[in-house]
């Protein structure tokens, strides 16, 4: 709390906060104003202006929690490539996602966040993973999570249960995912069958938000749900303007339902975060 702030409310309900002398208001010193009614219920959509002693000012509307943080600061994060195509240049959107491919996705994302490098060749405890298999390092990085103590079954199609388990374990280490999804499933906060990520994946499949066939997911469905869990989305304008510079696939064109999800997953970019994600290189 900033003691000494002066608060005034105009006839139309607009709120003005005058900060005390010596209180900074800039990108490094943001101020959050919380507006509630007399019963302390958050008030959304209220106009708030904040003024400093050096002529600084910033304004905006409160969010669903009755909060406004000013000034707005551009937030960016690096989104690396977490899925690649096949040697023939295709993506294979309808191909089943294999256990090895799923392991590679979660390992790449986790390693990027932690600043780790994954070995291209690794000894694992699994008899069906050769040391120089392209996925051996990813399996090793994910702590040797297999079908049994000695079998990984890298080429088996991943089942819904296996993918859900992998996602739960991933977020337990990775940390928070998409804020809106976490809020929706906030009551499921233990790392178990009721964990928010697991519950979301099951609800997504049940309500047709993803269209999986049989007991598994195809590659297009996986990138779609991983993007949603991470809160990642493609910048359609940037893609249209920079198409020649980006990784594209002949079997995933602009008319494909997962086109933008695949572009998000297969192209490294700096994401400028806001109401929607915009890209810069």
Taking only the tens of pLDDT, the chain with its 281 residues reads: 899 999 999 988 899 999 999 999 987 889 999 999 999 999 999 999 999 988 889 999 999 999 999 988 778 899 999 999 999 999 999 999 999 999 999 999 999 999 999 999 999 999 999 999 999 999 999 875 556 678 999 999 998 888 888 888 898 889 889 888 888 887 655 445 557 888 888 777 666 555 554 577 899 999 999 999 999 999 999 999 999 999 999 999 999 999 999 999 999 999 988 778 899 87
* 251 Cβ neighbours under 8 A, 6+ residues apart: 90, 91, 92, 93
Q: What is the pLDDT of residue 173?
A: 87
Q: What is the pLDDT of residue 274?
A: 75
**Strand pairing class (47-51; 15-18):** parallel
Q: Model pTM greater than 0.75?
A: no
Q: What is the pLDDT of residue 207?
A: 61
- At residue 263's C-alpha, the angle toward residues 260 and 267, to 5°, is 155
Q: What is the pLDDT of residue 161?
A: 84
Q: What is the pLDDT of residue 198?
A: 84
Q: What is the pLDDT of residue 191?
A: 44
Nearest to 274 by CA among 66, 27, 109, 72: 72
| Greatest extent of the chain over all pairs of C-alpha atoms, in Å | 75
**Strand pairing class (6-9; 15-18):** antiparallel
């Amino acid at each position: 709390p900033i003691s000494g702030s002066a608060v005034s409310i105009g006839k139309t309900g607009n709120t003005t906060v005058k900060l005390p002398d010596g209180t900074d208001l800039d990108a490094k010193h943001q101020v959050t104003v919380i507006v509630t009614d007399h019963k302390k219920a958050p008030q959304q959509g209220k106009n708030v202006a904040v003024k400093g002693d050096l002529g600084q000012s910033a304004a905006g509307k409160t969010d669903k929690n009755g909060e406004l943080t000013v000034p707005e600061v551009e937030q960016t994060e690096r989104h690396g490539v977490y899925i690649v195509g096949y040697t023939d240049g295709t993506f294979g959107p309808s191909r089943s996602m294999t256990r090895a491919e799923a392991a590679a996705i979660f390992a790449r994302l986790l390693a990027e966040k932690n600043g780790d490098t994954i070995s291209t060749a690794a000894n694992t405890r699994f008899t069906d993973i050769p040391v120089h298999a392209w996925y051996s390092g990813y399996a090793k990085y994910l702590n040797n999570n297999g079908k049994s103590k000695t079998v990984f079954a890298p080429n088996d199609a991943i089942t819904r249960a296996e993918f859900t388990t992998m996602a739960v374990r991933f977020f337990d280490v990775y940390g928070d995912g998409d804020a809106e999804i976490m809020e929706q499933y906030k009551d499921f906060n233990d790392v178990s069958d009721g964990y928010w990520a697991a519950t979301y994946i099951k609800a997504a499949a049940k309500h047709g938000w993803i269209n999986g066939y049989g007991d598994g997911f195809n590659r297009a469905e996986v990138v779609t749900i991983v993007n949603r869990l991470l809160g990642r989305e493609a910048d359609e304008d940037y893609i249209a303007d920079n198409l020649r510079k980006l990784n594209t696939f002949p079997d995933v064109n602009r008319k494909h339902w997962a086109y933008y999800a695949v572009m998000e997953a297969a192209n490294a970019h700096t994401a400028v975060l806001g109401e929607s994600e915009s890209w810069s290189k």
